[in-house]
Amino acid sequence: MGIYSDVAIMVKADALKRLPANVLEQLEQFDDQQVTPDGTIFAADMIKWGYTWCEPIQAALRVLGSENYRIVTACHDYPDANDDEGDWVDNPWNAYKSVSVSVKWRPAVYEWVETTPNTATTDQ
């Protein structure tokens, strides 16, 4: 069990070079990556971000300085829990949270039962 989140981590190009190898290995396990001359985005859907494996990533990014990275997380606790950090908000991906709520349903599955019309009469 646990809380699953969508996470995007954006790191400036010059700062990415200063990350430890073990942190880079963790980031490279994310579902999607895109490299631009300005930096790299690592994105993952439905990961347990709040667990201990993310701590080395966050600690390494904090050493680089908040202006060199941005972490955007989306989970069901938003807006009560907001784990975003870093100040690189003018990143080339313009990453942001998108919140929506919807109701989904599907038709019920039922067995068809043949019935006869009601022929009862009332006495007067």
Which runs of consecutive H residues, i.e. helices, occur in 1-124? 13-16, 21-27, 55-64
According to the model, what pLDDT value does residue 77 have?
Answer: 64
pLDDT digits (tens, 9 = 90+) for 74-101: 876 666 656 677 888 888 888 877 776 6
**Using an 8 Å Cβ cutoff, are 86 and 70 in contact?**
yes
Please tell me the pTM assigned to this model.
0.73
pLDDT digits (tens, 9 = 90+) for 16-75: 999 999 999 999 999 999 999 999 999 998 888 776 668 899 999 999 999 999 998 887
CB atoms within 10 A of CB 65: 13
Q: How is the chain split into domains, by residue range?
A: 1-115
Report in angstroms the alpha-carbon separations of 32 from 8, 27, 28, 77.
9, 10, 8, 24
